[in-house]
Amino acid sequence: MKKIVIGIGFFVLAFTANNLALFSQIRQLAESDNSNYEYEMGKQLSHSLSPDCSILTGTIENFDGQKSFLQMQSLCSEKKSEQGLSVEILPAA
């Protein structure tokens, strides 16, 4: 009986240690992904701080699926403000 309890104890310990290591790896991967994403955004921002680009903010007022999404992409490219998305120029300073 004692051996079985010790065996289960070892199993639980090994299982927990293994999962902790796995969670730690997942967390590291997520952090790395996040840092890559942010780094890439910084790069694209740098490219955008040029005379042929404007940096804008927008608030999504309506959204009803893929059609609105495509419309929104178009609005965000053309700097317009229409139903479904309002767009304003972000102050540069």
* Size of interface with another protein, in residues (CB under 8 A): 38
Residues 6-25 that bind another protein (CB under 8 A): none
Residues 67-86 that bind another protein (CB under 8 A): 69, 72-73, 76-79
Cβ neighbours of 91 (radius 10 Å): 7
Minimum CB separation of residue 23 from another protein in Å reads 22
Residues 30-69 that bind another protein (CB under 8 A): 35-50, 52-63, 69
Q: Which residues of 20-44 are buried (b: 16+ CB within 10 A; e: fewer)?
A: eeeeeeeeeeeeeeeeeeeeeeeee
